[in-house]
Amino acid sequence: MKFSSVFTGLTALALASVASAADRTAAIYIQPITQSPGAPAPLAEIRYDPTTVTSDAAEVTSYEAPEIPDEARLVRVGVYNPSTKKWESSTSVASVDNFSKGYSPTLILSVDAKGDVFSAALKGVRIDAGQTRDFGPQALVLTTEPGKQPELNKPIVLSPEGNKVEPEEKTFLQKYWWMIGIVLVMTMAGGGEQGK
């Protein structure tokens, strides 16, 4: 009995470690766009699971309301590495109005097939107090999907103008003329035998 409870506990611990191993964390930074922009400041930290494409695949683990100068009308948002002082993802530009009263910021991460963030964006979502009780920042993860692949070994027919020619749909008679012929022959053959 003791062995099974220990085994169950170890199994649960192992599954939890595997589940958390899939989770990744992205540090989102913000930088006001002004005449003399300062260094990007931390905005949020998002934990996400790149293998899951659901609305609950991301969670904002920390958030610091940004201090935006009055003269700034736009901010730059992205994944930034303070040790290398370089943006590690493409950045997006958003209006400071996304942080206005009555709006909740939604941070959008775009991740590739390996789960690495290649883009970050910000969108302010208007809060309807009658419909939601969650006024805090939200996170959304968008994963890239492979594009449509060409159909190989299928000839493409072009018109003299260079446009793709779609094959015309055959009529019922064009498709099944041979069956009609068989029915007629069998009918004639069957009718000739009845006369004898």
Q: Is residue 135 part of a domain?
A: yes
- Residue 64 DSSP symbol: -
Q: Is residue 191 part of a domain?
A: no
Average pLDDT rounded to a whole number, residues 98-102: 84
Triad 122, 90, 95: Cα angle to 5°: 30
pLDDT tens, position by position, 115-138: 888 889 888 888 876 665 667 788
| Residue 29 pLDDT class (50, 70, 90 cuts) | very high
Q: Is residue 98 part of a domain?
A: yes
What is the per-residue burial (b if ≥16 Cβ within 10 Å, else e) of 15-54? eeeeeeeebbebbbbbbbbeeeeeebbebbbbbbbbeeee
Q: Is residue 109 part of a domain?
A: yes
Q: Is residue 15 part of a domain?
A: no
Look at residue 7 and tell me whether its pLDDT is greater than 50: no
Q: Which residues is 30 bridged to in the sheet? A: 41, 77
pLDDT tens, position by position, 65-94: 888 888 889 999 999 998 999 998 888 898
pLDDT tens, position by position, 37-63: 788 999 999 998 877 755 567 888 899
Look at residue 15 and tell me whether its pLDDT is greater than 50: no
Tell me if the pTM is above 0.75: no
pLDDT score of 194: 55
pLDDT score of 156: 79
Look at residue 181 and tell me whether its pLDDT is greater than 80: yes
Most confident region among 32-36, 143-147, 149-153 by mean pLDDT: 32-36
Look at residue 109 and tell me whether its pLDDT is greater than 60: yes
Please name the residue that has the structure tokens 């009718």: 191
Q: How many CB atoms lie within 10 A of CB 187?
A: 10
Q: Is residue 96 part of a domain?
A: yes
Domain tally, the chain: 1
φ, ψ dihedrals at 35, nearest 5°: -60, -40
Residues 87/106, Cβ–Cβ less than 8 Å: no
Interatomic CA distance for residues 40 and 29, integer angstroms: 6
Average pLDDT rounded to a whole number, residues 153-167: 83
Range of the domain at 123: 22-143
Q: Is residue 67 part of a domain?
A: yes
Supply the mean pLDDT for the chain: 79
Structure token digits, residue 110: 């775009």
Q: What percent helix, strand, coil does the chain show, rounded to 5?
A: 25, 35, 40
Q: Is residue 152 part of a domain?
A: no
